[in-house]
Every structure is written in structure tokens, then in C-alpha cells.
Structure 1
Amino acid sequence: MTDGVVRVLLVDDHPLFRAGLRAALESSPGLVVAGEAQTAGEVPQAVERHRPDLVVMDLSLPDGSGLDATRRLTEQHPGLPVLMLTMADDDGSLLAALQAGARGYLVKGAGREEVLHAVRTVAAGGAVFGADIASRITALLTGSRLREAGQLFPSLTTREAEVLDLVARGLDNHRIARELFVAEKTVRNHVTHIFEKLNVATRAEAVARARDMGLGDTGG
């Protein structure tokens, strides 16, 4: 931040929404919209060009997911916080956003003051979630739904989620094939797709990601 002014980058493919959000932000002292992007592909260049203190990111973009864009940002710019502002109100999207590294999650339709508070808080290093979302996070992290791989990793198909859970339990491809009554080649294909979707390069990385989210526990 320069002179206490928070520079914001807006990433959303709807011009009218961006215009309304820009007007709301810039009507508040200490906030300025440094730049805008309409697609996930534009984000890296926009960040380099505008040097924002915070990125407000939509989940659904024309050329890909805001989750992937967020994940890349948190890897390439660890100190740059991302606030998700999206229409998606489902638990899977919420958990995926947290997993990708988002520091806040608001549903479009949130009031002006709620959005301004979220932007300021996330820019200052805090984390913000809508009131109903905060209570759902607690339920998701303590309840049995945490065990569902399909909710934790919504990009995976049901069978890929099943395979990931078995991988996290330490089973090799041969044993997974026997467990699921499919060919070992089919399992290898599933594992390849899982690696691509989770953006991991090794089985160990996939296991670590899955176990971080509570999968692979052979005790229950």
C-alpha cells in the first residue's frame, strides 16, 4: 500500500458489475481500482502491470476457473491476497476457494458496506467470509461432509474422487484396480487426470493434498 491507499484489481467478465463495483470502491476513501481483467489469462499480466494490494476475483471466468487463477497467484505472489466475489454459494466452491488460497469469500449481492469491509480487512492481512458462510465453514470442517472427496475437490469426477481417497489410503494402482473391479490401465488414467486437476506432479503430492483435507483415514 502506498500512503495508506489500497490498490485493487478487479477480475470479472461482466462489465456492468465491474463498473458498479469500481464505483462503490472508489467512493470510499483509501480505496482505488488500479486495474481490471476479464479473463483468468489476463490476470498475471494485469498483476505485473498494476501492482495491486488486493485482487477481487470471480469464480467463473470465460477461459477457466477463478480458482486456478487464485492458485497461481498464491504461488507466484504469496503476499497478494485474493477475495472471491462470486454467484457460487455451494459448499464445494467455498472449500475449493479456501484450498486455492483465497483470503475471503463473499457472494454477489452482499451489501456495499460488507464488500468495503471485506476489501479493507483482506488487504490488511485478515480473512473475511459472509456471516452465513463463516458458520458453514465451521460445519464443513467439523462435520462428516469433510469426508466427501467430491465436495472437497469439486473438479474431480465421482470415480476420480474415489480413486484419490484410495490413493491417500496408500493403495497402489494394482490394489485400487482390484478394489474397484476395473483394469489397472483405467486406474492409471484416473490418476493422471487427478494429477492434472489438482496441479500436482507426484503421487506423494496428491496424497498430501488429500490427507490435508481429511481423506485417506483408514480408521473410519
Structure 2
Amino acid sequence: MSTKKLIKVIIVEDQKLFANGLKEILNKFEGVEVAKIIENGNLVSKELDTLKADVIFLDLNLIGKNGLEVLQEIREQHSDLLIIILTMYQEKVLVEKAKKLGANAYLTKDATVEELKKALFLKDTDHYFTSKAITNTKQIDSKNNFDDNKILITDREKEVLKCLAKGKTKSELAEILKTSTNTVNIHLKNIQRKLNIYNPQELISYVLNNNII
């Protein structure tokens, strides 16, 4: 008697509480096993090569590479992998960008269990499945030089940028944000990578001119 193959899932999510909750839900589905939770976008490709997963739930805002960068990388290497974006971002420009980069589904983090199940057991992989919340989201015109990386600047990173724009030093930033200078440096590196701007003055100028803060 043949046994049905387990669907092996990887969750890429840097919020541990959410990731563990999702793992608990997915493991209750028949024939599904969450093999690993990965927090850092830089580690996804290597882990996929080792774990041989069938499905990946991928957040867009991550430590290291962001979700769109990870998506592009893993789609090029794993054509048969079912890639489901699961994120707080509802902007249509990101939904469309993810589709172009090879995602099979795009869900918001308030997706229902039924939506999770539909995406996970997607039979027609040529159909781009989205959660109901996406349908009601206002369209953003991607023709107007819209930078999707601007959306991926987190609230915490915006706090860092606001302080920088006021001329605060890294030490002052750490004190204001009640964190370490090392964490401040990590935030700055992530911001610079997302916006592809590494000169401090150019960074502040870009932020002020593009209404990021």
C-alpha cells in the first residue's frame, strides 16, 4: 500500500510569534509538514537546496535580503517550487511585482485558514491566487516611477531616518530608540540596501524629497 507523499513546507518570516502560529496551523493540515522556519533572507537559497521543500511561505520584510529579492533568486533556481507570499503589505504594485517574479500566490497576514489552504493546495499553478483583502486594495500606478522598495521601509527604519534627518548621531539614535548602536547600524545597512543609497547626505536628501518619513 503506497503512502501519500508529505508536502514539505518552509516558512520565511522574521516575526517568531507569527511564524510559530502559522506553523501550528499548517501542521494541522493533512499531509503537510513544516520543515523549518527561516528568519534571514540571506539563508533561504542554501536551506532550500538542503531541505528540498515543496512549498515556501515568504514574507516581504525580512532580515537580510527582502522577500522580493529572495523570490527572484529562488524562482530562478527552483522552477517547481510553490511560492506563496504572506505579508502585511497590500499595495497592488507589490502584488504585481511578486507575480512577475514568479510567485504563485499572494496572501495578506490576515488571510483566513481557508485561504491558506487554497494557496497551499493550489492545483492550477498558472493561476495567481490572492487573498480577498487584495481585491479591495486601491491600485497604485506603477508607471509613476514608483519604488516598491520604498514600501518595504519598516516603521522602525522610518524612526531611524527621522532621527538622522534631525542630525542625530548613531549614539543618540540608540538612546532614543532604546537599543544598541550595533542594532542602529543594522537598520542603516538595511535602509541603504533597500534604497541603494550609501552616502549619508544623499540618503537624507532622498528621504526628505520622496516623503518617506
TM-score bin, normalised by smaller chain: 0.5 to 0.7
Answer whether contact 2:13 2:62 (CA < 8 A) is retained: yes
Aligned to 1:52: 53
Counterpart Cα distance in 2 of 1:62 and 1:31: 26
Matched, 1:154 2:148: yes
Aligned to 2:163: none
Amino acid in the other structure paired with 1:87: M
Q: Could you state the TM-score of these two structures normalised by the residue count of structure 1?
A: 0.60
Answer whether contact 1:36 1:46 (CA < 8 A) is retained: no
Q: Mark the CA change 1:146 to 1:155 in structure 2 (over 3 Å): closer, same or farther.
A: closer
The answer for unaligned runs of 5 or more in structure 2 is: 151-194, 197-213
Q: How does 1:141-220 map to 2 (within 5 A)?
A: 145=141, 147-150=143-146, 154-155=148-149
Any idea what the Cα deviations from partners look like across 1:124-146, whole Å, max 9, x if unmatched?
A: 6353111242576xx96xxx935
Any idea what the Cα deviations from partners look like across 1:181-210, whole Å, max 9, x if unmatched?
A: xxxxxxxxxxxxxxx97xxxxxxxxxxxxx
Aligned to 1:94: 95
User: In the TM superposition, what is the alpha-carbon distance from 1:59 to its structure 2 partner?
Assistant: 0.4
Answer whether contact 1:56 1:85 (CA < 8 A) is retained: yes
Amino acid in the other structure paired with 1:147: K
User: In the TM superposition, what is the alpha-carbon distance from 1:81 to its structure 2 partner?
Assistant: 2.1
More helix by share: 1
Amino acid in the other structure paired with 1:128: F
Any idea what the Cα deviations from partners look like across 1:55-101, whole Å, max 9, x if unmatched?
A: 10000001121000000011111121210000111122212212221
Counterpart Cα distance in 2 of 1:148 and 1:95: 15
Counterpart Cα distance in 1 of 2:130 and 2:144: 22
Counterpart Cα distance in 2 of 1:121 and 1:148: 33
User: In the TM superposition, what is the alpha-carbon distance from 1:35 to its structure 2 partner?
Assistant: 1.6
User: In the TM superposition, what is the alpha-carbon distance from 1:154 to its structure 2 partner?
Assistant: 2.0
Amino acid in the other structure paired with 1:127: Y
Please give the root-mean-square deviation of Cα atoms over the aligned residues, in Å. 2.5
Answer whether contact 2:12 2:57 (CA < 8 A) is retained: yes
Answer whether contact 1:40 1:64 (CA < 8 A) is retained: yes
Aligned to 1:131: 132
Counterpart Cα distance in 2 of 1:53 and 1:106: 18
Matched, 1:62 2:58: no
